[in-house]
Amino acid sequence: MNIDQLKSFHQVVVTGSFTRAARELFLTQPAVSQQIQLLEHALGTSLFDRSGKKIRLTEEGKILLSYTERLFNIYDEIEVVFGQLRSLEKGKIIIGSTAVMGTYFLPKLIGRYSRSYPGIEIDVRMGNSHKVTTMLLAGQVDLGFAGRVSTEPRLDSVMIHREKLLMVSSADNPLTGRKSISMDDLKNTPFIWREKGTRTRALVNQWFENRDRRDYPDKWIELHSVEAAKRTVVEGYGVTVVPEISVMRELHLGLLKRIPLEGFDLTFEYYLFSKKGKIPSRAAQALLDVLADFRLLSHPENLHKMISR
């Protein structure tokens, strides 16, 4: 028994004629008859009552018809679904992202993408850079937006954005009125760290250590989101370091001000990661195409390297 024999059987029943079934299947009538005979031989039973002029099913034929109806309904569904996937009418992308990319970049990207491909579902899963790469390696996400934690040979990556880091405080902090301040000026000012494992924290901590200021900060708290850090600083507690894009609104409204710390000129690079050797789905490929023209990023042109692979 094979699928061609089942197709012949089903078409004979649906059309009510061996001749019409042959026409639908682009076969000769003898070829369809032979397919039915082979199927009956394989099943060990007669499927049609051949005593009259009209085609009538035997009880065994009726049983087989109940199966072929389900089988070819599923077959039709498969063609419809994959036709939708090809035309991007349907699909799903799972994205892993760090908090900054997920909060300040991806909403605009997703909005633009969804206007072009409204049938594609997008699932964003947040975590720090290490978590994002771990999800990629485990096959839990299709693409990952994160900082570079370390070189991982099982992942492809491309730098897509470079963001300036700013030290900020509340607007009424007297340090903001100076043209320049030193680390000594900060010694009594509390500091708000991001959680351990974030690349921002690692960069800032390294900057302090390079200036032999392991004694700063003496007073500090740790918060697990940029938004929480911003709100705490707005209320007057200490200073923090955050990506510029995350505080543009607060700086414009005067809720936060930049601390002009001498020599503080840090930037953070964001990468797009994918699993090496994995061919992106059509939906993911379309997202890469949209991302390559996304002007909110400083280096969207680098994505052409990934798209061309």
DSSP string, the chain: --HHHHHHHHHHHHHT-HHHHHHHHT--HHHHHHHHHHHHHHHTS--EETTSSS-EE-HHHHHHHHHHHHHHHHHHHHHHHHHHHHTTSSEEEEEEE-HHIIIIIHHHHHHHHHHH-TTEEEEEEE--HHHHHHHHHTTS-SEEEEE--S--TTEEEEEEEEEEEEEEEETT-GGGGSS-B-HHHHTTS-EEEEPTT-HHHHHHHHHHHHTT-TT--SSEEEESSHHHHHHHHHTT--EEEEEGGGGHHHHHHTSEEE--BTT---EEEEEEEEETTPPPPHHHHHHHHHHHT-TTSS-GGGHHHHHT-
Q: What is the pLDDT of residue 196?
A: 82
pLDDT at 80: 63
Stated pTM of the model: 0.70
**pLDDT, tens only, 138-171:** 889 999 999 887 778 899 999 999 999 999 999 9
- C-alpha 293/C-alpha 301 separation (Å) is 8
**Residue range 200-224: average pLDDT?**
90
- Across 253-270, average pLDDT: 95
Position 83 confidence tier, pLDDT thresholds 50, 70, 90: low
**What structural domains and CATH numbers belong to the chain?**
3-86 (1.10.10.10), 91-161+270-307 (3.40.190.10), 163-268 (3.40.190.290)
Instruction: Name which of 55-64, 84-93, 175-184, 200-209 the model is least confident about.
Output: 84-93
Distance CA 47, CA 40 (A): 6
pLDDT at residue 308 greater than cutoff 60: no
**pLDDT grade, residue 108 (50/70/90)?**
very high
Choose among 165, 181, 146: nearest CA to 266: 165
Q: What is the pLDDT of residue 200?
A: 86
Query: Mean pLDDT throughout 92-111?
Result: 93
Rounded percentage of the chain residues whose pLDDT exceeds 90: 57
Contacts of 158 (CB under 8 A, 6+ apart): 271, 272, 302, 303, 305, 306
The yes-or-no verdict on residue 25 having pLDDT over 70 is yes
Mean pLDDT of 265-284: 89
